[in-house]
Amino acid sequence: MMKRVMVTENAKGMFRRFLTGCAGLLALVTCTNFPTPLENIVAGQKFRPLAVVCTPPEAAPGDTVQVRFYYYDPPEESPALHWLVSLDYGIDQHNSVYEKQVVDLDSMMLPGGTVESFRFRVPDSVLTQSTQVSELANDRIANPLHLSVLSADSILRAAANLGSVPSQIVALADNFTGRILLRAQVRADISLDVTMPLRIRYSSKLHSPNVEVNPSIKWVGIITVHQADFNRIDSLSTAVWSMQYLLNADHPDSVKDTVRIDSGCSYLAVADTGDYENPQFKRPTYTYFSKIDNATLLDTENYRYQWFFTNIDYANGMIMDSLLMFGSGGSGSMRSLLPPVDTGMHRFQLYCTARSSRPNDAGATPGVAYVTSPGYFAYSDAYARNLVRNGTYRRNRYGF
C-alpha cells in the first residue's frame, strides 16, 4: 500500500429517462486516487479515505469554506489528523507541481468545528501572492488590459460589491485565478496524506456562469436484472429489470433497504448523475478560451463515480466468496454488484463519491459529492439451494 495520497413504476420511468439522457456517461471510466484500487472496506482492518468535500468547491478571497473529510476508521483506531494548506499551489513552466507558503490550516479554522468538519476563511491576499496569477498577468489573452496583479485584484474586489458589472470584468475574474491545496496528514494504522485543491477567484462574487459547483447524489439504488451473468450495462434498456432505492433524498418514503437475492439474476449499484432534474440530463457546461481556435468555446463537465462497500456481517474466517463485491462491469454511475455466497451475510453499506471535472479548464478543481447507503440482503430458497448443490459456483464463474 502506498504511503501517500495526492489526493415501483415511477422509479422505472424516471430511470429510463436517466438511461436515455446519460448514454455519454456510460463511456466514462471510474478511477481512483486512493492508496489501493481495492473497493472492499473490511470492518476492523484499515483506515481508508473516502472523500474531501469543500463547500463551495471554488471560493473568492475572504470567503468562508466548509471542509468535510469522510473516511472509514476501524473501530479500535483513533487516527491523528493534522491539516496544512499551501496558499500558493500550481504547476510551473517546467510542468512540475509546486507548493509554496505552506501553513498550519488548524490555526485558520473558525470556532465550532472539528478536524473532520470545519470552516476556514480564505485570506484576502491569496491571489496577489499567487505564482499562477503572476504568470497569467503576462498572458495577453488572459489579461488583455495588461493590468498588474495588484490592479486586477483591486478592480475585482471593488466590482464584487456592485450589483452589475460589464462582461469584460466577469471574464477577467474567470481568468484571474489561482489555487490553494488542502492537505490532511493522517497517522493511523497507515500514514498517508490526503489532498484537495481549491480554486480561488472572484467569479462567484460576480455571478459568472462558469463557477464550479459540487455535484449532487440524491438517490442510490440497486437494479435487479432478471438474467444471469448480465454485464452489458450499456444494453440495460434491452433487458428485463427492476430498481429499488436504498437512498432517495427527495422521496424517502420510496426507500426499501432489503435487497432480495435470487438465482438467475444479476445486480447493479447505481447513483444519479447529479442533474437528474434536467429533462435532457445535460451536465453543467462551462466556457474556456482555446488558443488553437482563438475563440471562447463551450464544453461539458465530466462526472467520475467511485464506489466502496462494507460487509457489516463479515466475520474472520469467511472465504473471499462470501464478500459482497463489485464486478469488472460498469462505468459512469453504475457498477455491477456480486452478492455474497454465504447467505449468513446480510447487512452491508455502500459508499459513493462523485467528482466533477473540466477537461479543457487547466485551473479547474473538482466538485465532490459523497453519500452512504445501508442495506440488507435477503436470499431466496432457490439461491440458497443452488449454493448448496454447487459450492464452487461463484469460484468457477468469476475466477476467484
Q: What is the pLDDT of residues 188-218, one digit of tens each?
A: 777 889 999 999 999 999 999 999 999 889 9
Is the residue at 305 inside a domain? yes
pLDDT value at position 320?
59
Task: Say if residue 176's pLDDT is above 80.
Answer: yes
Is the residue at 128 inside a domain? no
Is the residue at 57 inside a domain? no
- Beta-sheet pairing, 258-261 with 368-379: parallel
pLDDT in tens, 25-79: 332 223 334 334 456 676 556 788 899 999 999 999 999 999 999 988 877 777 8
Cell of 30: 471510474
- In this structure, how many other beta carbons lie within 10 angstroms of the beta carbon of residue 152? 24
Number of domains in the chain: 1
Nearest to 371 by CA among 351, 390, 400: 351
Cell of 3: 504511503
Helices (H), the chain: 9-21, 131-137, 149-159, 167-175, 381-389, 393-398
Task: Say if residue 399's pLDDT is above 70.
Answer: no
Q: What is the spatial distance between Cα 106 and Cα 104, in angstroms, rounded to a whole number?
A: 5
Q: Is 341 buried (19+), middle (13-18) or exposed (0-12) by CB count in 10 A?
A: buried
pLDDT value at position 184?
95
Task: Say if residue 277's pLDDT is above 80.
Answer: no
Total-model pTM = 0.82
Output 99 or 47, whichever has higher pLDDT: 99
Nearest to 282 by CA among 18, 104, 102: 18
Output 323 or 24, whichever has higher pLDDT: 323
Q: Is 260 buried (19+), middle (13-18) or exposed (0-12) by CB count in 10 A?
A: middle
Is the residue at 69 inside a domain? no
Q: What is the spatial distance between Cα 188 and Cα 119, in angstroms, rounded to a whole number?
A: 24
Helix, coil or strand: residue 104: strand
Helix, coil or strand: residue 368: strand
Output 60 or 290, whichever has higher pLDDT: 60
Residue 76 sits at φ, ψ, to 5 deg, of: -85, -5
Among 12-21, 309-318, 371-380, the least confident range: 12-21
Query: pLDDT-based confidence at 134, cuts 50/70/90?
Result: confident
pLDDT value at position 56?
95
Please state the rounded mean pLDDT for residues 274-301: 72
Is the residue at 244 inside a domain? yes
Q: What is the spatial distance between Cα 266 and Cα 328, in angstroms, rounded to a whole number?
A: 13
Is the residue at 105 inside a domain? no
Query: pLDDT-based confidence at 243, cuts 50/70/90?
Result: very high
Give, in order, the Cα–Cα distances in Å from 106 to each of 119, 120, 153, 294.
Answer: 10, 9, 27, 44
Treating both helix axes as pointing N-terminal to C-terminal, what angle do 149-159 and 167-175 enclose, rounded to 10 degrees? 130
Q: E-assigned strands of the chain?
A: 48-55, 58-59, 64-72, 80-91, 97-104, 117-121, 178-187, 191-200, 219-225, 241-248, 258-261, 266-271, 285-290, 295-300, 302-311, 325-326, 334-338, 347-357, 368-379
Is the residue at 332 inside a domain? yes
Q: Which range marks the domain in which residue 386 is found?
A: 12-50+212-400
pLDDT value at position 6?
31
Is the residue at 230 inside a domain? yes
